Structure 1
Amino acid sequence: MRAGFLRIITLLFILPGLSTVGQSRTENVVLITLDGMRWQEIFQGADKDILYRKKGVENVAEIESQFWDKDPLKRREKLLPFIWSEIATNGQIYGNRSLGNKVNVRNKFRFSYPGYNELLTGFPDKRINSNAKRNNPNQTVLEFLNKKIEYKDKVAAFASWDVFHYILNQQRSGVHVNAGNDTLKAQKLSARERFLNQLHKASPSPWSGTRFDKITHQYASEYFKNNKPKFLLIAYGETDEYAHHGNYSSYLKSANKTDAYIQEVWNWIQSDEQYRDKTTLVITTDHGRGNGRRSWRSHGVLQKGSNNTWFMIMGPDTQPLGEMKEKEHYYNNQLAKTIAGFLNLEYPVQGAYGEVIATAMEH
């Protein structure tokens, strides 16, 4: 009897990630993604080599006044003020490779659909090798949650990119997905919802299949307030679109706007009794990008740096350690199981999947 008890205690110390299951104070999770957002801007702010080149910056003086400082710590605060105040104070930020704290994707393709599959299922799948609109054969953590009685119809996703219908396999999973050209649909729309639908129709984006993030954000806001989901995914897409087009000024402005959107999301969370001090916020990206004046626009298997990513976590079960400076290595495929762990659930998947991020769950 005593020997068995000692073995259990020993396991709790050896496996801290597993010991958190059943102890979490988190009741809701909000997952936010910034498509193709580089770690360099997250941790160092505006990139001098790109900012002062002739192409890609419409008005250097304007961007310089908004986002430039010789000190990279001040630059990143100018670009992402909420992240480097609130989350850096009350959460954890992983992926500053300059400090040896590394985050990577494990999939070999290093672009969006494979990246989101890895993030949301917990493992890379070599069958997911394009951005084609094909239903994901794998179960995501959203589908896993939606199958449970306590989360049924309390799981939702709002995305700028229309491929999320397929990434989340909406037909099979039953998850509420609003993405791309979708408008809000209900038997009776509020005046605000009707206005947003009109705004969406009147604001076509220049990109095929991707709408402006302001539409995604506002749609998610209304759904959040009116339907009270227990798991909400918001996937912003502008940073990747502007990067592919080499528009660095718009890339920076979009990142800055998204930081403000994240602040609004956190304000929603903290203003509602269902969510306040009961919600974990997770923020990450699907892939990295190249480095330098030309390579920053691209990503993929042939582009060095495309597998370099980052993530942030803030909530009632996460110690306020701020920027993680230890020389450790993490992977995007760890986040699915970590999210389930926050909700006191063991996420079952097949294949080589990531384990719980123990440091994020030690409260």
Structure 2
Amino acid sequence: MNPLRLALAALILLGTASQATADDSRTEPTGPITKTKNVILIMSDGLRWQEVFSGADPALLNKKDGGVADVEATKKAYDRETPEARREALLPFLSTVVARQGRLYGDAGNEGRVTNGKNFSYPGYSEVFTGFGDPRIDSNDKFDNPNVTVLEWLDAKPEFRGKVAAFGSWDVFPYILNRNRSGLKIVACWEPPSGEDLTPQEKLLGEVNSKVHRLWAGCGYDVFTFHIALENLKREKSRVAFIGFGETDEFAHAGRYDQYLDSARKFDGYVETLWNTLQSMPEYKDSTTLILTTDHGRGDAPSDWKHHGEKVKGAERIWVGVLGPDTHPRGDAELAPADQNQIAATLAALLGEDYNAYQPRAGAPISSAFAAP
């Protein structure tokens, strides 16, 4: 062969080999191929499945059992003739968009459950984030979670590094997500947003949040949690985010069913605003999935609705909603249960990642969230 041609052929082969090596070094998704590129996990603490599927409970729309201050005004806002109508009055976005365009799990007949057996907050959040119940997580005390969460696991991957964030009303989230070890961006409770590139809106939100009158020492107001998260998403374009609301649990424990309902209605509005905002942004439009759920259930009227825990009947019942490009409408299809231990693997699988390969103790992904049309 001509020496010049031989040298040229050698260069081509060398270039091909180098490209193959570079391709082999890339991190490839290990789970299903999906359209989802971003996932937002949103939780409302202690929001009962009863309200999610049937709206306001008529048995609690009173002063005696529901602690309702203005019974007539509360009934006008939320009471309707049928469970379906009450549900749409209370949670219109979940009822008319999530349930019809995506999947909503946990109604009678396809009951979703907590598997940790504790039925209160820290164990529930830990199970959501890790995919399994850990008997060591047995209180709401502020201690670092010994388990690696799916958020920390994803953030360790090059394609998600620095693109995972968490925002929550409860001041225990930095411990549940182990900020000391994981290094995750977490803004919790009364903490202000931090960073050099904060927008004027974020700075103002942080200032007002730090000075507003506080009803609870360990739980901030959901309105600040939501808008701080929304502004951060618009600026940083995170690929994975968690937003945790707390008012539904606080007002339920206080025995104020009217305030509980108002907080649930606001939660639904926050989800709608978030979805519409994401759909207006090219980084998120038609490539983002929302996962909606709660950390535990509650008991029934007349008094157990205020409580949860191991001894409260029904507190193990939860609900899960999924809305996004890979989750086709349910239609008339029967739904299998979606349990709390399946959420972590579902979140990862929507991003094309196999969390179960890393954490075999975790529940499997919710298969019908990936159902073909």
Structure 2 unaligned runs (5+)? 1-29
Shift of residue 50, structure 1, vs aligned partner: 1.1
Partner of 1:51: 61
Deviations 1:75-109 (A, max 9, x none): 00000011111112211000002xx1110000111
Partner of 1:340: 348
Partner of 2:165, secondary structure, is strand
Matches of residues 158-307 of structure 1 in structure 2 within 5 Å? 158-307=167-316
Counterpart of 1:43, as a letter, is F
1:147 aligns with 2:156: yes
Aligned length: 341
In structure 2, distance between residues paired with 1:87 and 1:22: 22
Structure 1 stretches of 4+ moved >4 Å: none
Contact kept in structure 1, 2:105 and 2:335, CA below 8 Å: no
Cα pair distance change 1:188/1:101, threshold 3 Å: closer
In structure 1, distance between residues paired with 2:70 and 2:212: 24
Contact kept in structure 2, 1:101 and 1:325, CA below 8 Å: no
Query: Which segment is superposed worse, 227-236 or 192-201?
Result: 192-201
Contact kept in structure 2, 1:121 and 1:349, CA below 8 Å: no
Deviations 1:24-81 (A, max 9, x none): 1110001000000000000010101111342510101001000001201000000001
In structure 1, distance between residues paired with 2:253 and 2:183: 32
In structure 2, distance between residues paired with 1:277 and 1:303: 41
Q: Percent identity?
A: 44
Deviations 1:214-238 (A, max 9, x none): 0100100110001000001000000
Partner of 1:319: 328
Partner of 2:71: 60
From 128, 133, 139, the counterpart of 1:124: 133
In structure 1, distance between residues paired with 2:203 and 2:345: 37
Contact kept in structure 1, 2:327 and 2:370, CA below 8 Å: yes
Contact kept in structure 2, 1:121 and 1:141, CA below 8 Å: yes
Contact kept in structure 1, 2:51 and 2:57, CA below 8 Å: yes
Partner of 1:54, secondary structure, is helix
From 113, 121, 140, the counterpart of 2:122: 113
Partner of 1:214, secondary structure, is helix
From 340, 352, 356, the counterpart of 2:365: 356
1:40 aligns with 2:50: yes
Deviations 1:131-183 (A, max 9, x none): 01000000111001100000001000000001000000011111100001210
Contact kept in structure 1, 2:105 and 2:319, CA below 8 Å: yes
Contact kept in structure 2, 1:102 and 1:327, CA below 8 Å: no
In structure 1, distance between residues paired with 2:43 and 2:36: 20
Shift of residue 352, structure 1, vs aligned partner: 3.3
Structure 1 unaligned runs (5+)? 1-19
Shift of residue 325, structure 1, vs aligned partner: 6.8
Partner of 1:30: 40
- Please report the TM-score for the alignment, with normalisation by the length of structure 1: 0.91
Contact kept in structure 1, 2:63 and 2:71, CA below 8 Å: no
Partner of 2:31: 21
The CA RMSD over aligned residues, in Å, is 1.5
Counterpart of 1:165, as a letter, is P
Partner of 1:3: none
Partner of 2:105: 94
Partner of 1:32, secondary structure, is strand
Counterpart of 1:116, as a letter, is Y
Cα pair distance change 1:210/1:277, threshold 3 Å: same
Contact kept in structure 1, 2:191 and 2:210, CA below 8 Å: no
Contact kept in structure 1, 2:100 and 2:330, CA below 8 Å: yes
Partner of 2:202, secondary structure, is helix
Partner of 1:10: none
Partner of 1:142, secondary structure, is helix
Contact kept in structure 1, 2:326 and 2:370, CA below 8 Å: yes
- Please report the TM-score for the alignment, with normalisation by the length of structure 2: 0.89
Contact kept in structure 1, 2:36 and 2:326, CA below 8 Å: yes
In structure 1, distance between residues paired with 2:311 and 2:240: 35
In structure 2, distance between residues paired with 1:268 and 1:174: 27
In structure 2, distance between residues paired with 1:61 and 1:282: 34
Contact kept in structure 2, 1:146 and 1:174, CA below 8 Å: no
Contact kept in structure 1, 2:45 and 2:296, CA below 8 Å: yes
